[in-house]
Structure 1
Amino acid sequence: MVLMGVAGSGKSSVGEALARRTGALYSDGDDLHPRENIEKMSRGEALTDTDRWPWLTRVGERLAGATKPLIVGCSALKRIYRDHIRQEAGGPVVFVHLSGSRAVIAARMGTRTGHFMPTTLLDSQFAALEPPGPDENAVTIDIDQPLDAVVDAILAALRDLPRA
């Protein structure tokens, strides 16, 4: 499973909580970024598609190598990125789109510390976002609710998702 969404949508917090509830492992996609990507974002520069391919490959490879249920947090903003992850994973991948308004996400980003992604890049994230289509084995969850409610909503939505 990939928890996807713009920076600040709660991928790490939700991923850790969901992993605790389900017994799955959680892997933060930020840890899979090449050093050059982190340095670029730290300077306030948006990543290009070319910058993202090695990272997306690592995300897919991490999923492919999983020996037990795995949740990866990865923005996966565009359909072509999700397709690439699926290809590298070598099997079905469920995407959970953590969706929220710019105002909600900007407020969250403003309170976090120690993260390389500056709030100034939020507009570029929303500009690149292509929400998952109905054919993508994905669910969309509203993040403007308490963490436990987000996890409950994900689990309920996954129960209703047709098996790929």
Structure 2
Amino acid sequence: MAVSFFIRGIMNKNLYPTVYLSAFHDVTPELLKKHGITGLLCDLDETLVGHNEQEINNELISWLEVLSENDIPVCIISNNTQTRTSQFARKIGVPYICMAMKPFAFKILRGADVINKPRDEVALVGDQLFTDVKAARNAGIKSILVDPMGNQSMWYVKMKRRREGKYKKEFKKEA
């Protein structure tokens, strides 16, 4: 189910996503069209699959097919290694950028070039405020925050998630 939100009180604008959803599969062509988005950059671990998971589920395949049918290109943008990112990207047949160094913007901008879309029509889908949403903001593109898949995060991600919790409490979800 897709949800939108507004922020109560004051919050760092770099942590304010364009859209907040439950999961990647809630990102539909209709939602993207509503926000003027024609191309997606997607985080890998805990956004599309669990951390370091190699299995590709049918839900992901179906979602990618729907995006492809609607001429919405996808590129994986991951802070993970070349080996991890390339193996997964090859399995699903999309381009990738590894070791993206999010929240820095330069590889996010390269991702927009890879899918051949202008920045104002691109969104980054990710599960972390401090890396994905902030990277999108730093690059001047839209962001789609999703809840993380699984609970196999690295220890440092778990620490960030605790900090994210206080910000996420400020989000009011609307049906």
TM-score > 0.5, shorter chain as reference? no
Bigger helix fraction: 1
Bigger strand fraction: 2
